[in-house]
Every structure is written in structure tokens, then in C-alpha cells.
Structure 1
Amino acid sequence: MKLFKKRQAHVLLRGGEVVSRDLGKDYDEGKFVEWGSITKTVTAAAAAVLVDEGRLSYDTPAGELVGGRLPESITVDTLARHTSGLPRVHPGMKGGINHDPYEGTDGDFLTDLLASFDESLLESPGTVSYSNLGYAVLGRIVETVTGEPWLPSVRSLVLEPWGLAEVTTRPPSDRWAAIKGFDGKPHTPWSLDRSAYAPAGALWSTLDVLAEYGQTTVERGGYDDPRRGWQETEGRWWHNGQTRDSGSCLVLDPNADVVVATHALARLPGSADRLADKLIRELDEAA
């Protein structure tokens, strides 16, 4: 139990102020954590900015922007909503703890995949079906419209205007919050930073900055738009993420003006979610 506590951390904000903050011993001050799929909400926010600026339309078929053989039914809107019918990942993707599923999935890989796309791969288009591949394509659309790679694009469209510093896709290894091997070295994270899937899960920052991102999202609004990637449960909006060795969760409670950011260095999916649930229950009981 003590070992697990060392490997989890949280930051809880109310009204933008820190009311609870606990960084386990494996989280030194200034260490970066993987956001995982929380990254998708940044990609969706970048697309929303482009729409607001008149540079992009949600109704545009994705194929008109990224080329390839995507059917016209797949639009910017359906990608953002997870209703495009694209599978969760590309066919043949290998998983497993000891294998990097993102190795070899660079930009050229996505271009080739789109060029050879077969409509038989679609899974129940029009219904919500979570898709990392869909957000890889949405990220490519952001790149196409801005003329810049995905990370500089989301920095200029979202992160910098929101005042969020030191958000990146691969911090120096001495700043990773990561499980260490028997040799004392941190496990190497998946190569999302070099992958076309980066828009679906590659961001890192300190846990404080992740909480700040949640607070700014509440203040700026838009989280209740299904095209922004957030999920809703009982008036709270949330997103989570799971990478090789860690999990993350970010919960927004606009009615209570509360934001909870959690992280767990654990291969067991849902660890960060359970920590967030526990903190919120304690907050409700104290109210």
C-alpha cells in the first residue's frame, strides 16, 4: 500500500487555488507526467480555434484536407466526436507491455494508411466509438490547416494563449516521472512523440500544469461541446489516459469550481481514475 502511495499524485483546485496537493516520493518537484489521451482535448481545442477563426469547418470531409481514400461521411465533426466509424487503432497494431505499439507509426505511415484505406474497416459510423486513429487524423487536419507540425500548432493555438508553459511531447529523461527498472533507470516511454498518434496522447507536463490546464478549460468554457473530446458523468467533465506504465485523469466540476488532476505510476488501467473518484467523494462528503 505504501509502495502504491509513492507512485500516485494529485493536485486539487477550488476556485483556481490549490486546496490539496500530494506528490508521492516517485514524483520529485518539477517531474513531468504523461497526459496520455487527455492530449485529445488539446487537439480538439486547436480544431475549435481554427473553426472559430474561419480557417476550418466541422462539416468539411476529412479526405478533402488530408487526401487518401476516406469516405465523405468522415468529417472534421465526426472525428472530433468519435463518431467517424474509424477503428480504435490501425489494423494489425501490436500491443503488449514490452512492445512499443507506436514504433514505426510516423507521418509517412499515416499518409500510406489513408491512401490505402478500405471502407470495410469502418465500425458503426454515426455512433460514438472511441478512436485514437480518428484523433491522429484530426491532428493531421490541424497540421494541414496551419502548415506546421502538430506540436507547434497546438502550442500557438491553445497552450501559449492559455498561458501554459512547459508542455511538451518528450521532456529530458531526468525529468520523467516514471517507473524505474532494476538498474535504477526509468523505463523508456512509448514513442508517441515520433508518431502520427501524437495528437491522441503524446503530451507531458508537470501535474500542476495539467491541473492548470483543467482550470483554464473551465474558465474558457466549451468543454460541454461533444466536439471538444470531454466526457460527462453527473455534471462533471473528465478525460483520462493510459500509457505504458502510467495513468492520468483530469476531472472538471464547473458547478463546484473544482478541478482534480491525478496520476499513477501503475500498469493497472484505471488507477488514476480511482484516485480521482476517491478525492471527489471525500470532497462531496465534506460539503
Structure 2
Amino acid sequence: MPYTVPTGPATTCAPAPLRRELQNRLDALAEDHRVPGAQLVLDTGTETVSLHTGTADAGTGAPLTPDTAVPLGSLTKPYTAALVLLLADDGDLDPDEPVAEHLPELRGMPEVTVRHLLSHTGGLPTGPDSDTASATRGARYLASLCTADQALFPPGTDFSYSNAGYVAAGRLVEAITGMPWHEAVRALLLDPLGTVPAFIGDTTVTRPTAVGHAVNTATGQVRTVRQNLAPLEAPAGALLAGAADLAAFGAALTGRSEALPPAVAKEMRRGESAARPGTLADGWGLGVALYRQGGRVWCGHDGNAQGTSCHLRAEPESGVVVAFTGNAGGATALWRDLAGELERIAGIRVPAAPVTPADRGRPVALPDCLGTYRNGGTAYRVTAGPDGSPALSVDGDLSLPLVCYADLSYDLLDPVTGRPEPGGRFHRDPVTGRVERVQVTGRTARRTDDG
């Protein structure tokens, strides 16, 4: 497949053999994982490799090029966080002030600060699905969620990934700038980064875009997937971009781009002590996930929209940035395989996933974890399986067996392979010793035992 290598005053082309081998692996892995199209950019700070493969739309056969923008899903959130911190850098807000000082709809949670929103430590529920959210306005949406009885934990004491928190962050941008979020992120961040803006729901096409895809694993049939996002959720997931755009943002996060002042980049990368994101990452800053690898800490984020999977990693000490986009659900597995190949081919160890403790000891019984836990409208039920061991279901869907450990972490057994996969952790009340919360893939639910 063809590739392009963007060059500029700060970069040179990487050696041809390295580019060829990476291109061959990208092509092969995309075919293996049934991903119609993918992009990869590796920027070492002095050399850049930009690769792409396949199609942007399997239905039309439109090629995926370096200019193609892919729905980023939650990789939109770091852009929104950077936008908020640019306003803070200008003196328009203080990250440690209550959000309710700017947004009356958050008066129900008066202790939640801007910092809490950006680091997912405010105790806000995740928020309803996009179909439900599309039927309401932002202020009403937040007022209904941000109440004392919905709080998952006291602000600043734990971590729960929340789209609602970034809806609030986007509302904050609008309240301070007087511009819609789309206009503010374009003018203050995308334009300085050199990124041509594209958003879910755009009525005008400003650049080539990719669609998401789903693959029937039994038949191999590929179908396109429509992106579905409520307009009020745009600050949490509406951006489209290519891997080259992500790499430019990653370079800004390392402090080697004028698009972000060094103080803003450093603030984003600084880990919050209360942020324990479990299976999502090893830590969290203001808008970016943190990953440990070989004694160094990388920053970045993952994003999954309907039928796409996009990933960004940046290592401030070396300046290395790796950006990847793929337009199918299987691109997550492709990314993990490709990250492993980068070490072999380019000598760069990229943390695709958080570090799992090597030895948590033998599995233990945890009978007091049985019960019902809630995050907003979502119910997580931990029940005893046929053999007495616990199993987890979400809103009554497929119940997956749990393997629990003494540190209160647990694995979920994959229903197809039977292999244990990191699932999350339980929390005990420090006073009563009772299991009071469960974290599932980064989202925390509070125990209710209300059936």
C-alpha cells in the first residue's frame, strides 16, 4: 500500500527500510483484524513516519489517505481539557474553583471543581446514552445528573470516567468564551495545531472523512456504522481527525509545540493523586491518561466511537509521539499488536494498555461483594454463579464470572476464550469494612442493594 511521509523544518524522513517494514506490518495486521482502514504516525522528535492503509468506507471503496479524518470518540476529551486550561492560563478561570460559580446547573454538587471535571474525580455519573441525551438541553441534562443523591463518592477522593463531566467542561468553555464549543476549539486549538476541523453532525464537508465499521466474525461480512452522538455531548466525543493531527496534538502535550504553552502541557500531564483509573490507565492528569513504561510516564488517551478505535501516546522526556486511527471495532486489537511491533521494528516501547500487577496472589472468595451497584441509570449486579463464585452483569445483560483477589481487584472471564481479562476493583468503606463501590472499566458504581 502507498504511504506518505510529511516533512517540515523540525523533522526528516525516517530510513526507508523502517518505513517499509512498518507499512508491511500495518497492512498485514489490518487484514488480520479485518479493519478496512488505518493510519499510523510515529514522530521521534527528529524523524517522522506517516503510514496509511485500506479504505475509509468499505461501502463506497473510498481510499483512506493521510488527510482522512476518523471519528475520535473519547479522544475528543483531551482537546476539550486543553481548551479549558488555555482559558485558565489566560486568567479566565481557576482550575480549583467550583464549577457552579460559572454553571448554575452544577449547584447540586457545589464542591466539584474544574480540576475534578477534567480528571474524572468529581464523582459524577457517566450520563445517559446519546438517544436519551439528544432529547434534552445541556443545562437540564447536567442539573438532573449533578445532584447529591447521584454522587458516586465525595469529590476528589476517587475516579469514575464520566462523559457528563466533559459535557460540563464544554458548557464551561461556552460560558466563558461566549462561543459554541465547536467554534472555540477550532479558533483556540485546532487552528494553531494546523488541524482542519471536522465534527460528527457536520452539514458541510471540509475534508475527507472515514466511517465506522462492524465485522461479523462468523461470516467476515463488513458493514458501515452510523455515528450517533447527541449535540450536547460534542465536547466529550464529536471530533474527527487523522493520525497526523493526533501526532501534532501529542507533540504539543510534550511541550514542543507553540499550540500549547509549556505550563498548560505540564499541568495536563501532572497526575492527580485521587485518580485511580484501574483498567483504563495507570493514572490520570487533567484530560490525559498516564501510562508507565520502563521507568517513564507516557500521556495520551484512547477513543472508541461507533466502529472506530483511535489512540495517542506521547512521552515528554524523549519527545516520542505515536498516533493511530482505525475504522473498525477490531482496530483496538490491531493497535495493541502494532504497539508490540514498534518495539521490535523501531526500538520504541509504547504502552498500549496499563500495567497489570505481575502477581496478585491466588484468587480469593469475596462473598460480601454480592449486591447491586448503580452509576446513574446503569445497574451493575454481582450475583453468585452456579458454583457460588461471583458473576457480574450490567443492566441484566450477559453475566460474566469474576475472579477476585485479596487487593480487591478482579478479572472477568472472557466468555469465548475463558481467559481472565482485567475488569476493575471493589472498594471497602474504611470505617465499616463493607464493600461499598465497584469500578468496572474505569466507571465506578455505588452500592445500593435495591434490586
TM-score interval, smaller chain: 0.7 to 0.9
Q: Is the 8 A contact 1:107 1:195 kept in 2?
A: no
Please report how far the alpha carbon of residue 209 of structure 1 lies from its aligned counterpart in structure 2 after TM superposition: 1.6
Aligned residues: 274
CA distance in structure 1 between the partners assigned to 2:308 and 2:348 by the alignment: 29
CA distance in structure 2 between the partners assigned to 1:178 and 1:122 by the alignment: 36
CA distance in structure 1 between the partners assigned to 2:99 and 2:348 by the alignment: 48
1:70-219 alignment runs, 5 A limit: 70-88=108-126, 90=127, 93=128, 101-103=129-131, 105-106=133-134, 108-117=136-145, 118-125=147-154, 126-160=157-191, 162-170=192-200, 172=205, 175-179=208-212, 186-190=224-228, 192=229, 194-218=230-254, 219=256
Amino acid aligned to 2:232: A
Structure with larger Rg: 2
1:231-270 alignment runs, 5 A limit: 231-234=289-292, 235-268=297-330, 270=332
Relative to 1, partners in 2 of residues 1:70 and 1:53: Cα closer, same or farther, differing over 3 Å? same
Please report how far the alpha carbon of residue 128 of structure 1 lies from its aligned counterpart in structure 2 after TM superposition: 1.8
Q: Could you list the runs of 5+ residues in structure 2 that have no partner in the other structure?
A: 1-28, 57-62, 216-221, 258-264, 272-284, 350-451
Relative to 1, partners in 2 of residues 1:103 and 1:50: Cα closer, same or farther, differing over 3 Å? same
* More helix by percentage: 1
Amino acid aligned to 2:151: L
2:47 paired residue number:
17
CA distance in structure 2 between the partners assigned to 1:263 and 1:177 by the alignment: 10
Please report how far the alpha carbon of residue 283 of structure 1 lies from its aligned counterpart in structure 2 after TM superposition: 5.3
When structure 1 is superposed on structure 2, of 76-85 and 256-265 the one drifting more is: 256-265
Q: Secondary structure at the match of 2:83?
A: helix
Q: Is the 8 A contact 1:13 1:211 kept in 2?
A: yes
| Alignment of 1:229 onto 2:266 | no
Amino acid aligned to 1:70: G
Q: Secondary structure at the match of 1:151?
A: helix
Report sequence identity in percent: 27
Please report how far the alpha carbon of residue 71 of structure 1 lies from its aligned counterpart in structure 2 after TM superposition: 1.6
Q: Is the 8 A contact 1:85 1:129 kept in 2?
A: yes
Q: Secondary structure at the match of 1:10?
A: strand
RMSD, aligned CA: 3.0
CA distance in structure 1 between the partners assigned to 2:183 and 2:53 by the alignment: 29
Please report how far the alpha carbon of residue 163 of structure 1 lies from its aligned counterpart in structure 2 after TM superposition: 3.1
CA distance in structure 2 between the partners assigned to 1:253 and 1:280 by the alignment: 15
Relative to 1, partners in 2 of residues 1:33 and 1:286: Cα closer, same or farther, differing over 3 Å? closer
Please report how far the alpha carbon of residue 39 of structure 1 lies from its aligned counterpart in structure 2 after TM superposition: 1.0
CA distance in structure 2 between the partners assigned to 1:110 and 1:163 by the alignment: 28
CA distance in structure 2 between the partners assigned to 1:33 and 1:241 by the alignment: 11
Q: Is the 8 A contact 1:262 1:276 kept in 2?
A: no
**TM-score (norm. length: structure 2):** 0.55
Please report how far the alpha carbon of residue 84 of structure 1 lies from its aligned counterpart in structure 2 after TM superposition: 0.5
Please report how far the alpha carbon of residue 23 of structure 1 lies from its aligned counterpart in structure 2 after TM superposition: 2.7
CA distance in structure 2 between the partners assigned to 1:78 and 1:142 by the alignment: 15
Please report how far the alpha carbon of residue 144 of structure 1 lies from its aligned counterpart in structure 2 after TM superposition: 0.3
Q: Secondary structure at the match of 1:24?
A: strand
1:50 paired residue number:
87
Please report how far the alpha carbon of residue 21 of structure 1 lies from its aligned counterpart in structure 2 after TM superposition: 1.9
CA distance in structure 2 between the partners assigned to 1:45 and 1:140 by the alignment: 14
1:97 paired residue number:
none
Relative to 1, partners in 2 of residues 1:6 and 1:107: Cα closer, same or farther, differing over 3 Å? closer
Q: Secondary structure at the match of 2:306?
A: coil
CA distance in structure 2 between the partners assigned to 1:258 and 1:181 by the alignment: 32
Please report how far the alpha carbon of residue 231 of structure 1 lies from its aligned counterpart in structure 2 after TM superposition: 1.4
Relative to 1, partners in 2 of residues 1:15 and 1:198: Cα closer, same or farther, differing over 3 Å? same
Q: Is the 8 A contact 1:246 1:264 kept in 2?
A: yes
Please report how far the alpha carbon of residue 130 of structure 1 lies from its aligned counterpart in structure 2 after TM superposition: 1.3
Please report how far the alpha carbon of residue 285 of structure 1 lies from its aligned counterpart in structure 2 after TM superposition: 3.8
CA distance in structure 2 between the partners assigned to 1:248 and 1:275 by the alignment: 14
1:41 paired residue number:
78
Relative to 1, partners in 2 of residues 1:85 and 1:286: Cα closer, same or farther, differing over 3 Å? closer
Q: Is the 8 A contact 2:41 2:48 kept in 1?
A: yes
**TM-score (norm. length: structure 1):** 0.83
Q: Secondary structure at the match of 1:127?
A: coil
2:424 paired residue number:
none
2:103 paired residue number:
66
